[in-house]
């Protein structure tokens, strides 16, 4: 670090820096204290007047001036958040919609991979950066889509298991199963519920992902799965 940078750093650590400390002798500058309560721009102006652009480097090292990459980092975070939210939206679809979304994201990632290879071959840093970001965004959306779809299916399976427990509890209290799921507090349309004429047995069926189904029989107390 230059003498100017060292002087400013010492002033920064002790709580103040002076124009006399930072400016060369013989410039006829009136003594003035610059306290930390003043804006960093005032400190930089005094040092820049004495040593030019070298002061900027010193203040960047001291962390006084904002990092120019902060805005770029914010943009990257925003893009990744958008990619994750897009994946959450895709994950709400049935299995066919999810497969189509993943196929599109795979195609985008594949294009990014080809561009990345081309950028590496031609030593084009801009192409490498953009294609790398494209690949990472596609991967983020794929992970978000798959995770959302998995959570949705898991929640539906857990709800079905809870319905079975509630139906068993209802039978213990009333001696038979209810005629519909509304009797135990479920206002859902995704589950198909049927009982026999004596309401002593029931079947519960639902689509897991728009293609596969699960079917439960109280008689066998087992799930049957198929497509």
pLDDT of residue 2: 46
Helices (H) and strands (E) in the chain, counts: 7, 6
Distance, in Å, from the CA atom of 123 to the CA atom of 55, rounded to the nearest integer, reads 34
pLDDT of residue 77: 84
| Average pLDDT for 36-60 | 46
Q: Could you tell me what percent of the chain has a pLDDT over 70?
A: 68
With a cut of 50, say whether residue 91 has pLDDT above it: yes
| Average pLDDT for 8-36 | 43
Distances (CA, A) of 77 to 47, 89, 108, 135: 35, 18, 19, 15
Least confident stretch, 44-53, 67-76, 166-175: 44-53
With 0.85 as the threshold, say if the pTM is over it: no
Higher local confidence (pLDDT), 10 or 100: 100
Least confident stretch, 28-37, 118-127, 161-170, 215-224: 28-37
Residue pLDDT, tens place only, 158-217: 999 999 999 999 999 989 999 889 889 887 788 999 998 888 899 999 988 878 899 999
Least confident stretch, 28-42, 61-75, 134-148: 28-42
| Average pLDDT for 3-23 | 44
Distance, in Å, from the CA atom of 119 to the CA atom of 98, rounded to the nearest integer, reads 31
Cross-strand partners of 214? 206, 225
Distance, in Å, from the CA atom of 159 to the CA atom of 214, rounded to the nearest integer, reads 13
- Of 45-59, 71-85, 130-144, 180-194, which one has max mean pLDDT? 130-144
Least confident stretch, 42-46, 79-83, 146-150, 187-191: 42-46
With a cut of 80, say whether residue 18 has pLDDT above it: no
DSSP state of 182: G
Distance, in Å, from the CA atom of 54 to the CA atom of 42, rounded to the nearest integer, reads 16
Least confident stretch, 68-72, 108-112, 113-117: 68-72
pLDDT band of 51, cuts 50, 70, 90: very low
**Paired tokens of 37:** 């309560």
Domain boundaries, the chain: 3-62, 70-146, 153-226
């Amino acid at each position: 670090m230059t003498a100017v940078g060292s002087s400013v750093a010492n002033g920064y650590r002790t709580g103040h820096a002076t124009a006399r400390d930072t400016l060369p002798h013989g410039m006829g500058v009136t003594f003035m204290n610059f306290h930390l309560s003043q804006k960093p721009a005032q400190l930089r102006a005094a040092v820049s007047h004495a040593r030019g652009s070298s002061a900027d480097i010193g203040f960047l090292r001291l962390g006084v001036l904002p990092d120019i990459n902060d805005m770029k980092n914010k943009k990257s975070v925003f893009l990744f958040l958008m990619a994750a939210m897009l994946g959450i939206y895709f994950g709400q679809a049935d299995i066919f919609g999810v497969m189509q979304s993943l196929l599109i994201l795979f195609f985008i990632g594949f294009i990014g991979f080809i561009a990345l290879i081309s950028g590496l071959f031609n030593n084009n840093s801009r192409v490498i950066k953009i294609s790398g970001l494209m690949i990472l965004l596609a991967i983020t959306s794929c992970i978000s889509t798959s995770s959302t779809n998995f959570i949705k299916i898991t929640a539906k399976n857990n709800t079905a298991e809870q319905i079975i427990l509630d139906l068993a509890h209802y039978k213990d209290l009333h001696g038979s199963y209810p005629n519909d799921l509304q009797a135990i507090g479920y206002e859902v349309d995704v589950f198909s519920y049927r009982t026999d004429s004596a309401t002593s047995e029931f079947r519960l069926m639902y689509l897991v992902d728009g293609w596969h189904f699960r079917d439960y029989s109280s008689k066998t107390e087992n799930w049957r799965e198929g497509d």
